[in-house]
Amino acid sequence: MGRLEVLKTYKVYIGGKFPRTESGRYYTPTNAKGEQLGNICLSSRKDVRNSVVAARKAFGGWSERAANNRGQILYRIAEMLEGRKAQFIEEIIFQGATKKDAEKEVSIAIDRLIYYAGWCDKYTQVLSSVNPVASAHFNFSVHEPMGVIGVVADKHTSLIGLVSLMAPVIAGGNTCVVIASEGLPLCSVTFAEVLNSSDVPGGVVNILTGKVGEMMPPLASHMDVNGIVYSGDDKKEIKDLEESTALNMKRISVYSADWMNSDEQDIYKIADCQEVKTTWHPIENIGGASSSY
């Protein structure tokens, strides 16, 4: 008789810790063959609340980090993911994908993290402007992170959809609360373990598993969430999201994309979770050709 395998306990990730859902509930999704994927936390609205609190607390520190440092941390996530590639491939296959697709998905996820790691200290240069106003003022516009962003991950992938949405959000200095794929939740929890070992400060990314229909409304109506990025094309979900965000003028970005496409990454996804801030200051004009002195 062989050795008894140690099964993994899947927990949620809030504020850099791995608690069980405060509700004590779980669900047991299955793959196409009917095999149980595991006992997955069925997060509640209180978990959403706790995550938003953790994300808000982490926002100041994360947004004020040097852009270069954020880039290094995103790169570190990619490094750690590379090191645990096999485990992710195994989970993706277990959740129903072919080996080839699973390998591709993990590779793209790693490369995508590196792509956004590189953007951290460049996007403001590309997106900012110095504006030639007609008065004696220096005027410039820069991008600033919005704050706490809700991420409703792609439902049809376990890893790549989550990474594709999360990476530009945190590359831009935001913190986030991620709602993982309901049916394919395994990688989200394992990815949280990667984050936790990659110098990402606790609370910058919080990951919840459970029912989207249960978690999305409290997230969308939360007054301390500044924006939501959503992947998918469920018309009702989009409408509900957009309606409830009228509460506090949340910014909503809806993506309907094939995240397995290696082109589905760009600076504009960073820009979607940025605010433009324009600053004016007088220029004292003394000396030189146009001087009145």
Partner 1 sequence: MAKKKNTQAAVEWDYSPSPESTSHIELKSKYDLYIDGKFVKPSSGKYFASYNPATEEKLADVAYANEKDVDKAVKAARKAYTNVWSKMEASERAKYIFRIARIMQERSRELAVVETLDAGKTIRESRDVDVPLACNHFFYYAGWADKLDYAFPNRKVEPLGVAGQIIPWNFPLLMAAWKIAPALAAGNTVVIKPAETTPLTALILAEIIHEAGLPPGVVNIITGYGDTGAAIVNHDDVDKIAFTGSTAVGKIIQKAIAGTGKKATLELGGKSANIIMDDAPIDQAVEGIINGIFFNQGHVCCAGSRLFVQEAVVDIVVKKLKRRMDTLILGDPLDKNTDIGAINSKEQLAVINKYIKIGIDEGAEMYQGKCVIPEKGYYCPPTIFTDVAQSSTIVQEEIFGPVLTIQTFRTVDEVIQKANNTPYGLAAGVWTDKGSRIFNLTTKLRAGVIWANTYNKFDPTSPFGGYKESGFGREGGLHGLSAYVKLK
Partner 2 sequence: MNKKNGTANHRIPDFSLSPRIDKVGVEERVSRFQTRSIKTSAKLQGLKMVLNMIDLTTLEGKDTPGKVRQMCYKAQHLHDYHPGLPSVAAVCVYPTMVGVAKKGVEGSGVKVASVSTAFPSGQAPLKIKLADTKFAVSEGADEIDMVISRGKFLRGEYNYVFDEIAAIKEVCGDARLKVILETGELVTLDNVRRASDIAMYAGADFIKTSTGKIQPAATMQVTYTMLEAIRDFMDETGIKVGMKPAGGISNSKLALHNLVMVKEVLGGEWLNNDWFRFGASSLANDVLMQIMKAETGNYQSSDYFSID
Give residues in contact with partner 1 (CB under 8 A): 126, 129, 131-135, 137, 139, 141, 146, 226, 235-236, 238-243, 245-249, 251, 266-268, 275-282
* Among partner 2, partner 1, none, residue 286 binds (CB under 5-8 Å by kind): partner 2
If DSSP codes are grouped into helix, strand and coil, which group holds residue 169?
helix
Q: Which is nearer to partner 2, 125 or 292 (CB)?
A: 292
d(CA 128, CA 143): 7
Please answer whether residues 291 and 283 qualify as being in contact, where contact means their C-beta atoms are separated by less than 8 angstroms. no
Residue 126: which of partner 2, partner 1, none does it interact with, CB under 5 to 8 A by kind? Answer: partner 1
Helix (H) / strand (E) containing 188: helix 186-196
The option from partner 2, partner 1, none interacting with 247 (CB < 5 to 8 A, set by class) reads partner 1
- Beta pairing class for 175-179 and 148-152: parallel
- Residues making contact with partner 2 (CB under 8 A): 136-137, 282-286, 292-293
Please name which of 115, 125, 124 lies closest in space to residue 173, comparing C-alpha atoms.
Answer: 124
DSSP 206-248: EEE-S-HHHHHHHHHT-TT--EEEEES--HHHHHHHHHHGGGT
Nearest distance in Å: CB 159, partner 1: 26
Q: Which does 157 bind (CB under 5 to 8 A by kind): partner 2, partner 1, none?
A: none
* Residue 225 C-beta: closest distance to partner 1, Å: 11
Q: Cβ of residue 88: shortest distance to partner 2, in angstroms?
A: 58
Residue 261's φ and ψ, nearest 5 degrees, are: -75, 125
Residue 242 contacts which entry, partner 1, partner 2, none (Cβ below 5-8 A, type-dependent): partner 1
CB of 205 to partner 2, least distance (A): 44
